[in-house]
Amino acid sequence: MKVPCFRALITVTVLGVCHSVHALWPMPRNLETGTTLVKLAPTFDIHVQGISQVPQDLLDAISRTKTRLGSDKLQRLVVGRGSVDKGSLAHAPSLSKLVLSVTGSKTVQSIMHEATKDIASRSEGYSLSLPSTNGGTATITANSSLGLFRGLTTFEQLFYDDGTGVTYAYQAPVTIKNDSPAYPWRGFMLDTARNFFAVSDIKRTLDAMRMVKMSQFHWHVVDSQSFPLTIPGFPELTQKGAYSADEIYSSADIQVIVTYAGTRGIDVLVEIDTPGHTAVISTSHPEHIACAQASPWESFANEPPAGQLRLASAATANFTASIIKNIAHTLPSTMFSTGGDELNVNCYTQDAQTQADLKASGKTLEQALDAFTQTTHGTLKAIGKTPVVWEEMALEHQVTLSNETIVMVWISSQNAAAVTAKGLRLVHGPSDFFYLDCGAGEWIGNDSAGNSWCDPFKSWQKAYTFDPLASLSAAEIPLVLGGQQLLWTEQSSPQNLDSIAWPRAAASAEIFWTGSKLPDGTAINVVNALPRLHDLRFRMVQRGINAIALQPQWCALRDGSCNLDS
């Protein structure tokens, strides 16, 4: 069927429905738009109504929104860019102000307070109205500061620049009613142990996450290669385990990152992976590490260097619990990850100290692992934290996990049902959909095939096809908290962080906010998503995020579907 899908005088054959290009990502779950252009008045301002004490981080967010509305300079991705609208803008109605208000009479808490609440009790919903009348007032209403913040993010995405400094929306009136996420966990994981990332790199990542309403930053901060995290009471871990004195996250750095994230609606989940992935601890505490630097490493670890905590030792369990407690109690999140993946049994079989500890206690290795886990998780429970673990702890080991434990499924998307069958809550992060490092070749030098274990490259289109509820029963569906993209950084650094992650990682942000259906009732699909993702990419670049282009630009320059027959 011949459908004219864009302003350029070209007719193309299009598969499916012709959609207008919105810069909305993620797409709201409820959306009505018109066809009127509305420009911001020179005196446009944002006001808060009905709140006696406005939280400072909400005031700061409002200030940033006003700045971005004038500085983004994103022009519509159509032939002619913003010039196609100049004639209409000359007589377009002006928007005089945006009013934010909170429903109800409860005390309004800060964005950070709301964003770091228990995962099941966060309130992110909002309603938005953008009128098409001259001198009109736009509104955002919510029942929390976090909801208002999400609404501000949507409001920013409605506007473009005409190339001469006029900021305008082209599809007014806009009505969004009760938009809220399908899932509370919409995350991104960054590994800062294999390669170090400065605080500024992490802030830039958090900025990108905020743009797409992600809610959870999973910080895989330490691993076998380095220990850059400062732990109160254990300075030797970083002094001897960091790559250098300049590649350490001080206690002040940690609080800066946590606060920067929280004021942008993002909770920070810190992970100290245990008992595996801990070889670097041997540099300061060799008594607690089995198989440190053992060779050949392939026999003792999934990647070099070898070394893991002596889990059968009560002293090691208490040492680990102390490390976890000393950092976890300084963090606002209600969650903390103890990891638990890729345990190497041969290491413990070959470690004389572990074998002696097992014999003295009369325990099997699995029983010792359970006791180790009860110690570390018991410490978290005592300070009000919920433990988060990798899927092996639930599926491969005989470990008793509380029903509150959150399990991250990473090996395969097919394993989700086995986790929910145990009555445990889960976060989707499967390597077959959401691993951003796949397809870059193998980093381990002795792999003659040269392919990464999780080939092929996971495109945004592949991630966008993910079904969070596949193979789950109706009773198991409430156990799905959401999902996240993951970047393991053996081959990534600050130099390619932005381009390998964005806007590709945003695919899951829409899956877990919008859900399976678009506002018109049709299933989410790459045809509708591509032009919106292009807009997101260009806006990210405007904000200093070096996001990679998705496809040749000619595709984006047509205001409609890029899924073409010819």
**Which residues are known to be catalytic?**
342
Strands (E), 132-195: 136-142, 160-161, 167-179, 185-191
Sign of dihedral through CA atoms 149, 480, 336, 219? negative
Rounded-to-integer distance, Cα 389 and Cα 302, Å:
18
Spell out the long-range contacts of 412-416 with Cβ–Cβ below 8 A and sequence spacing 24 or more: 413/466, 413/470, 414/471, 415/391, 416/470, 416/471, 416/472, 416/480
- Give me the residue label for tokens 């002293």: 315
Rounded-to-integer distance, Cα 150 and Cα 392, Å:
35
Rounded-to-integer distance, Cα 4 and Cα 14, Å:
9
Rounded-to-integer distance, Cα 265 and Cα 480, Å:
21
Q: Does an H or E element contain 123, and which? A: none
Rounded-to-integer distance, Cα 385 and Cα 378, Å:
10
Among the listed residues 511, 505, 410, the one whose alpha carbon sits nearest the alpha carbon of residue 458: 505
Helix (H, G, I), strand (E, B) or coil at 84: helix
Sequence letter at residue 455: D
User: How far from each other are the two terminal CA atoms of the chain, in whole angstroms?
Assistant: 12
Helix (H, G, I), strand (E, B) or coil at 425: strand
Determine phi and psi for 4, rounding to 5 degrees. -80, 100
Among the listed residues 517, 525, 412, the one whose alpha carbon sits nearest the alpha carbon of residue 471: 412
